[in-house]
Amino acid sequence: MTTVGIIVEYNPLHNGHEYHFEQSKKISNADAVIAVMSGNFLQRGEPSIVNKWARTEMALHMGADLVIELPVIYSSQPAEWFAFGAISALDATGIVDHLCFGSESGELEILQTLAKKLKEEPVRFGVEVKQQLKKGINYPAAYTSAIQKILPFEKSEHMDLSQPNNTLGLHYLIAIERLNSSIQPLTITRQKAGYHQQEVTDQRIASATAIRKLIFEKQNQSYFSQYMPNYTYEVLQREFQSGRGPIDWECLKDQLLYKLLSITPTECSHYFEVTEGLENRLKQTLPELHSDSSFSVTKLLDLLKTKRYTRTKLQRTLLRILLNHYKTDITIDKLKKGTPYLRVLGFSDKGQHLLKKMKKTSKVPIITKVNKNHTSLLEMDIRATSIYSLSYQNPSAKEMFQDYYQPPLILKQ
Amino acid sequence: MTTVGIIVEYNPLHNGHEYHFEQSKKISNADAVIAVMSGNFLQRGEPSIVNKWARTEMALHMGADLVIELPVIYSSQPAEWFAFGAISALDATGIVDHLCFGSESGELEILQTLAKKLKEEPVRFGVEVKQQLKKGINYPAAYTSAIQKILPFEKSEHMDLSQPNNTLGLHYLIAIERLNSSIQPLTITRQKAGYHQQEVTDQRIASATAIRKLIFEKQNQSYFSQYMPNYTYEVLQREFQSGRGPIDWECLKDQLLYKLLSITPTECSHYFEVTEGLENRLKQTLPELHSDSSFSVTKLLDLLKTKRYTRTKLQRTLLRILLNHYKTDITIDKLKKGTPYLRVLGFSDKGQHLLKKMKKTSKVPIITKVNKNHTSLLEMDIRATSIYSLSYQNPSAKEMFQDYYQPPLILKQ
């Protein structure tokens, strides 16, 4: 049985994702698909629009055979560690033959050349990034410039690394190199809607960002249903009607505000992602929120934003503070080890066979039921779920502790 | 000018407090009254029904000349440190001649004998308390038994130390001894309503506890107005109408729940008051809250309560977790130093003269305006105010940072 791995967020799952899914199966000639999916908190430092169980349901309906949770220490990271965590999970299964990822360029060979170069010359690259940062530009821009210096000119013309999926793809390839993984990469050129594209420009395809915008603007719901499969629409409707969404940062603003007010700058500086005096900037910025209006995360982000700190960097920082993740919780040493467990969120009939196989091949424990003696990383996922559940209109204890007793979702075909 | 010091919470100020105030002036023959008042969080580990500024207003209307805030590290403590903090503040002014406190017994001589004995034999007393605790009884009961063993029998008959104001009074006297203070103590027998008494039994006098109960039960407001001076009633009405009260623990339940869910048992054990494995009991108890009902602090307290942990002990523990006060923030060494500043909340014309005098006599800095280079203890008061303001129906940034710019209240007579 040939198995292809994909790395996803499904926030929410839409027609573009279906296209990617079908193409992945086709070009890899795979019989089964394993999806590594972010839990409740995503790469850009945001909560997902509906929780991980609802998004797992969508993935299973589409045809994914096994959905594994990307631990929260990796899920809200810049491309490098997000990619490393996800590839380490696919690699740990011991049964993934191919990785298939979308990229704006679709040029696997250039990305692979670059990945090898970066793996060989990490120090030179690091120095180059630092030099670019000194110019006062933000990290993504410095990163792109540094890569363009290292990559031979004629190739870099064809590779725009300011495109997020090119960068992610590059880091998947670097991770495969670093892990000496036998996974064979494949890429699909992304169609139509750019990752961050805010506006809808097509009858059937829109980016997840654009879809979320439509949802939060509470336009006529049939207006966004055309961009997603029917099962996504139905899961979303059910979740929204049950008061479990749509979730964005504002749904957690009370918790964030309390947290920010309760900590000292020194304590703040111990949180992961809080770098370069950001703790003082945070403490000074809070009183700037005007007295006549209520607090919002958007307003705070607007006040905090500088040339240097991108919105994504700031969101990730606020998220780590909210989730109570200290620098000592997320060290380079821990990250380098890769994910130490595979938390199963759901599976199909075929996925059940994969799991049986994985009992022999998996390099780490497979978790289908959380018991009390879990590792500290899994504990972080569980706490993240509890905190996420506080964003619901009516949080119940059932949802706060769902991770403890929720068995994997099973879709019979 | 003879000055009498009083130690108060005014939660809210009622007719019984007026009686105590008048008697204090009378028996001490004082011209001026200095009140040391708890800020927004009180001795039993609860938020005050309205904030410290509103309660200062009440105190000034009654005739207090100077209101000084008891720092939060002392204000939510068992009798020993609550008393020590408050006496250290009165002593630090350098101008307080008398202390006048209410007690159930009214027997100053017995309390003084006992205070001396406890000061002389702290080790024997400590051992005795520990032995009593081993019987499985709670701390207040063990404390009372230990004292009864040390006090000569014929005297202990007249001194019921399970009465909270006898115990507080005793600790005021011990603090005076420990600080070698020149303050002369006086006591007034408390009239009619016991401290914790829940029910109203008189036409004009009711305990603050009973009054708060009437307020929260939202009975006809004229029903509670008879137990308080008119100015209290008016201040309460204004605060309630502005969405700043009435405040109780439930108004901070979202922040508490988030905090409890976000910390690990290990981190929890670092908070002040978290003793004897209470961190595990807390973590285990949370999931017991039933799934079909919403979270409440009352329910949590009911689940946590044991023979050993009184409700007050548990409330103080939850409060320290909410306020983010670690064991390293509130060490015995810090507590023993007494309050390192006098934060002025309000004053009368006469109070202004007292302040002028205190510029020469005060043993610690007098704070009428908070600047940025404040001490870490004052920082804790400021954070406590910010967190308290989140209990309001519509918290505004103005209130979150009120401590930074609110000048002392001044009542012209």
- Tens digits of per-residue pLDDT, A91-100? 999 999 999 9
Q: Give the mean model confidence (pLDDT) for residues B233-246.
A: 94
Summarised one tens digit per residue, pLDDT across range B55-114 is: 999 999 999 999 999 999 999 999 999 999 999 999 999 999 999 999 988 889 988 988
Average pLDDT, chain A: 90
* pLDDT top residue among B263 and B276: B263
Distance from CA of B66 to the nearest CA of A (A): 29
Lowest mean pLDDT among A38-52, A54-68, A186-200, B334-348: A186-200
The predicted pLDDT at position A198 comes to 59
- For the beta carbon of residue A189, count every other beta carbon within 10 angstroms: 12
For residue A292, what is the nearest residue in chain B, using CA coordinates? B396
Helix (H), strand (E) at residue A346: strand A342-348
Question: Do residue A396 and residue B292 have CB atoms under 8 angstroms apart?
Answer: yes
In chain B, the residue whose alpha carbon lies closest to the alpha carbon of A379 is: B264
CB contact under 8 A, B262 and A387: yes
The rounded percent of chain A whose pLDDT value lies above 90 is 65
Of B289, B324, B379, the CB nearest to A397: B289
Across A145-149, A307-311, B310-314, B318-322, the highest mean pLDDT is recorded for B318-322
pLDDT > 70: what percent of chain B?
92
Contact A385, A71 (CB under 8 A): no
**Which chain A residues are closer than 8 Å to B400 by Cβ?**
261, 286-287
In DSSP terms, B308 is beta-bridged to none
Tell me the average pLDDT of chain B: 90
Instruction: With beta carbons under 8 A apart, name residues in chain B contacting A404.
Output: 287
Residue of B nearest to A253 (CA): B255
Phi, psi of A244 (to 5 degrees): -110, 30
Residue B413 confidence (pLDDT) above 70: no
Q: Does A267 touch chain B (CB under 8 A)?
A: yes
Write out pLDDT tens, residues A145-178.
787 777 765 566 667 777 888 889 999 999 999 9
Band of residue A193 on the pLDDT scale cut at 50, 70, 90: low
Asked whether the bond before A340 is cis by omega within 30 degrees of 0, the reply is no
Q: What pLDDT was estimated at residue B209?
A: 92
Peptide bond into B246 cis (omega under 30): yes
Q: Percent of chain A beyond pLDDT 70? A: 92
- In the DSSP assignment, the letter for residue A287 is G
Would you say B158 and B168 are in contact if contact means Cβ atoms under 8 Å apart? Answer: no
Instruction: Show residues of chain A in contact with B254, CB under 8 Å.
Output: 254-255, 258, 390
Q: What ipTM describes this predicted complex?
A: 0.93
User: Per the structure block, which two tokens stand in for A137?
Assistant: 């530009």
Instruction: Break chain B into its structural domains and give their ranges.
Output: 3-241, 249-322
Selected residues 307-336 of chain A with any CB under 8 Å from a CB in chain B: 322-324
CB B364 within 8 A of CB B341: yes
The reported pLDDT for the residue numbered B162 is: 75
Decide if A310 contacts A138 (C-beta within 8 A): yes
Indicate if the pLDDT at residue A328 is higher than 60.
Answer: yes
Q: Using alpha carbons only, how large is chain B's radius of gyration in Å? A: 21
**Position A397 pLDDT exceeds 80:** no
Q: What is the pLDDT of residue A126?
A: 80
Q: Which of A40, A256, A262 to mutate to test the interface with B (most CBs of B within 10 A)?
A: A262
Please report, in angstroms and rounded to a whole number, the separation of the first and last CA atoms in chain B: 18
Amino acid identity, position B187: T
CA distance B32 to B27: 13
Q: Could you tell me how many residues make up chain B? A: 413
- Inform me whether the pLDDT recorded for B197 exceeds 60: no
Structure tokens at A250: 């504002």
What integer pLDDT is reported at residue B404 of this predicted model? 86
Pairing of strands B184-189, B342-348: unpaired
**B291 close contact with A: CB closer than 8 A:** yes
- Are A59 and A346 spatial neighbours (Cβ–Cβ below 8 Å)? yes
Banded pLDDT at B154 (limits 50, 70, 90): low
Please report the residues numbered 335 through 394 in chain A whose beta carbons come closer than 8 angstroms to any beta carbon of chain B: 376, 379, 383, 386-387, 390, 394
Kindly state the average pLDDT of the residues A193-221: 75
- The string of pLDDT tens digits covering residues B351-392 is 999 999 999 999 999 999 987 667 778 999 999 999 999 999
Inspect the interface and report whether the beta carbons of A400 and B287 lie closer than 8 Å. Answer: yes
Which tokens hold the place of B404?
């930074």
B373 to chain A, minimum CA–CA distance in Å? 13
What is the predicted pLDDT for the residue at A208? 92
pLDDT value at position A219? 64
> Where residue B397 falls among pLDDT bands split at 50, 70, 90?
confident
> Is domain B3-241 in CATH 3.40.50.720, yes or no?
no
pLDDT for A97 equals 98
Q: What is the mean pLDDT of residues A204-217?
A: 91
